[in-house]
Structure 1
Amino acid sequence: MSLRRSARLSTNSLTATPEVESPNGVVNGDAKGASKASRSTSKKRKSRASATSAAVSTQDESAKKTTKLTETEFAVPEIPKTPISKQRKAAAATTPSNPPPLTPTPSGVGLMVSTTAVPIPNNEADAQPRPTEPHATNAPLSTPGGSRVVAYSSSPIKPLSASQEETASPSKKKKAKEVVPPDVGAMQPPTSTVDTLLKDACEHLCKIDPKLKALIEKHHCKMFSPEGLREVVDPFTALASGIIGQQVSGQAAASIRKKFTALFPETDPSFPAPAHVIQKDLATLRTAGLSQRKAEYIQGLAEKFASGELSAQILVSASDEDLIEKLVAVRGLGRWSVEMFACFGLKRMDVFSTGDLGVQRGMATYMGKDVSKLKAKGGKWKYMTEKEMLDIAAKFSPYRSLFMWYMWRIENVDISVMNAD
């Protein structure tokens, strides 16, 4: 080959357009085809990137919703917003925003307390200073037969049997309204009465830590007051209402409960007895707005009360540990729900819930920690470890329920959903 021809071939090879394979496998042999392929590839890459971004965004939104549910599952119902005047808007613009912390208690507790307390009878017997004890059930509990069960009575009366209760005349039931379980004698002797329990508990808290006195004087705990301790509680209604209120707003819980009681015309608007609930099938119970699981939980709870596996007598006479263990074994009742029932329903004075975020936050504030910084930490124990909480609360025993109540109050947490001052 001549040198001149060799040079021409070399020049042609340098200026020739290389073959480009498009994403769909077509081979383009010119620059125009390569450009089109490049644009097509770019568009598809952008499309894929956009789809990926959308998927990630959806996942992020889902994660945010999950986080929000965890953070606000203890929130009280939202109050509808009212129009804000221009003057208020202007004032808000110049005033630092400091929103109150979320309440630590879910609507289940509010429903548990506000819908189960029977009006206090106004008679001479109920005015008597009934004995109380910190580790006992200090609330009078009602039974489906109409009698009441108490841990200690100022005038013990022989209880009626189940068959006697069904056939007894109203006068007999009234005479035997206060029943003391036979094994209640195993408890410690009463140290206070319904008239002095709150006073004794407050004095104990102030003796352990005098700085709590200002908080106690500012917030009166009606729950453990003489009036609160005389309110009669129906345990089945309290526990079932707590299940209804799990993970829904207070407004939704109240609506579901109203529809639920309407399923039982013979007792509506009062809550139905366990015997009535077990007669309805799950499909009927779900028409009130209950999920399949909640319907199963309430019916299962009703079966335990109807069979006698759970009763007012058992809840009164059980020790704190036995009570928690027995109720946690019931489907639909977690430890937190049981602790709230023991405290706000049964009025037991030495209940302490380490799993409550509001209690954790209040205790962190009580110990002088910067709660706003701790909140960003994340995790179940972001405010304080379980061991720290137990160690601090131990010295306030046997009145840790009241100490826990004030740990909610210490940050001005609005728990009016549970107890009006």
Structure 2
Amino acid sequence: MVLDRLSMDPLNTLNLEKRTITVPIKLGGEAYTATVTATGKTDEPSFIIEAKNGDKELIIKRIAEVFQWEVPLKDIHEHFGKTDLNIIFDEHVGTPLILDFDPFGCLLKCIIHQQLNMAFAIKLTERFVKTYGFEKNGAWFYPSPETVAALSVEELRELQFSGRKAEYCIDIARAVTEGGLDIDALKHEGEQVIFDKLIKIRGIGAWTIQNFLLFGLGRQNLFPMADIGIQNALKKLYQLERKPTNEEMERYKIGWEPYLSYASLYLWRSIE
């Protein structure tokens, strides 16, 4: 389930047959890679982690955080077994909420994906990373804030960015390099504090912040109601003739808390 979903992103280096993925990791400003091999089953997961250099304990800690190994999926599955989402959870049982490998990259990806169809959003992100990021041991790393801050709008427009989208990505990078925004420190902040810090940056709205909280930081109770994919999944689930209203979605999600992020994930899975 995990590798199948990760294989949708061409920037991920994985082997479905061997059940392996090479993960890019940044620690203390240095770039490392680790290969993770799944050796267990859905109900009895186990993994082998191989890293050539770097602090092994820190690498394992980051890998565990990315793949959310400490999250009790069985408890979450039982919670949703009593809700309208029980069929979806049975169909995609054991799908964890995997974090993006780089929190700054996650924020950039959220901006790139705004108001684009998924196929072009994935292609544009790949083009951006392969132009300004770097590859190591088969894993692709997103460009650093310093690299993005030094780019011009014209350079990004050559990749087919819109002018606004290019400006937003550069503005976010400059908020980090010049404005004192510490992306790594955000993981220790409350959601309202994070919202208040990010909403001030041009191009970042509620949808972007919610997706960053979800896929950048792994917060468990996020439900981006403005997301078209979630709206389409709910339309399919409840056999509606049109997309659900905000009032309807507010009613649906009452029984899904405190695991709204997993409701979001499995709804996306249901239409992928």
- Shorter-chain TM-score bucket reads 0.5 to 0.7
Equivalent residue number for residue 325 of structure 1: 196
2:132–2:143 CA contact under 8 A, matched in 1? yes
1:223–1:344 CA contact under 8 A, matched in 2? no
Aligned mate of 2:93, from 212, 217, 220: 220
2:104 counterpart of 1:236? yes
- Equivalent-residue separation in structure 2 for 1:357 and 1:280 (angstroms): 31
Greater Rg over alpha carbons, structure = 1
- 1:390 counterpart letter in structure 2: E
Tell me how far 1:175 sits from its aligned partner.
Answer: 5.7
Instruction: Flag the 1:115–1:306 CA change in 2: closer, same or farther, 3 A.
Output: farther
2:152 counterpart of 1:281? yes
- Equivalent-residue separation in structure 1 for 2:57 and 2:71 (angstroms): 26
Q: Render the CA deviation track for 1:390-421: whole Å, top value 9, x for unaligned.
A: 24313321101112333445xx422xxxxxxx
> The residue matched to 1:233 in structure 2 has which SS?
coil
Which runs of 5 or more residues in structure 2 are unaligned? 15-23, 33-52, 63-67
Which runs of 5 or more residues in structure 1 are unaligned? 1-109, 120-139, 149-169, 181-192, 376-381, 415-421
Equivalent residue number for residue 245 of structure 1: 113
Tell me how far 1:218 sits from its aligned partner.
Answer: 1.3
The count of corresponding residues between Structure 1 and Structure 2 is 230
2:250 counterpart of 1:390? yes
Q: Render the CA deviation track for 1:137-164: whole Å, top value 9, x for unaligned.
A: xxx984571389xxxxxxxxxxxxxxxx
2:182 counterpart of 1:314? no
* RMSD between superposed Cα atoms in Å: 3.8
Equivalent residue number for residue 201 of structure 1: 76
Counterparts of residues 118-137 of structure 1 (less than 5 Å) = none
2:268 counterpart of 1:413? no
Counterparts of residues 74-223 of structure 1 (less than 5 Å) = 114=9, 142=26, 145-146=29-30, 171=54, 194-207=69-82, 209=83, 212-220=85-93, 222-223=95-96
2:25–2:59 CA contact under 8 A, matched in 1? no
TM (norm. structure 1) is 0.46
Instruction: Flag the 1:142–1:202 CA change in 2: closer, same or farther, 3 A.
Output: farther
Tell me how far 1:358 sits from its aligned partner.
Answer: 4.0
Tell me how far 1:355 sits from its aligned partner.
Answer: 1.7
Instruction: Flag the 1:196–1:257 CA change in 2: closer, same or farther, 3 A.
Output: closer
Aligned mate of 2:262, from 391, 397, 402: 402
TM (norm. structure 2) is 0.66
1:142–1:232 CA contact under 8 A, matched in 2? no
Instruction: Flag the 1:265–1:347 CA change in 2: closer, same or farther, 3 A.
Output: closer
1:359–1:407 CA contact under 8 A, matched in 2? yes
**What is the aligned-residue identity percentage?**
27
Equivalent residue number for residue 62 of structure 1: none
**Which protein is richer in strand relative to its size?**
2
- 2:105 counterpart letter in structure 1: T
Equivalent residue number for residue 341 of structure 1: 212
Equivalent residue number for residue 225 of structure 2: 354
Tell me how far 1:267 sits from its aligned partner.
Answer: 5.8
1:354–1:360 CA contact under 8 A, matched in 2? yes
Instruction: Flag the 1:117–1:333 CA change in 2: closer, same or farther, 3 A.
Output: farther
Instruction: Flag the 1:257–1:395 CA change in 2: closer, same or farther, 3 A.
Output: closer
Q: Render the CA deviation track for 1:294-346: whole Å, top value 9, x for unaligned.
A: 21111111112224733343221122232233333322222122222322333
1:117–1:234 CA contact under 8 A, matched in 2? no
- 2:244 counterpart letter in structure 1: Y
Instruction: Flag the 1:346–1:114 CA change in 2: closer, same or farther, 3 A.
Output: farther
Tell me how far 1:203 sits from its aligned partner.
Answer: 1.5
1:352–1:404 CA contact under 8 A, matched in 2? yes
- Equivalent-residue separation in structure 2 for 1:175 and 1:253 (angstroms): 35
2:100–2:216 CA contact under 8 A, matched in 1? no
Aligned mate of 2:128, from 247, 260, 264: 260
Tell me how far 1:293 sits from its aligned partner.
Answer: 1.4
- 1:145 counterpart letter in structure 2: G
Instruction: Flag the 1:214–1:387 CA change in 2: closer, same or farther, 3 A.
Output: closer
Equivalent residue number for residue 18 of structure 2: none
- Equivalent-residue separation in structure 2 for 1:115 and 1:307 (angstroms): 32
Tell me how far 1:232 sits from its aligned partner.
Answer: 6.2
Instruction: Flag the 1:199–1:306 CA change in 2: closer, same or farther, 3 A.
Output: farther
1:147–1:179 CA contact under 8 A, matched in 2? no
Higher-RCO chain (CA-CA 8 Å, sequence separation at least 6): 1
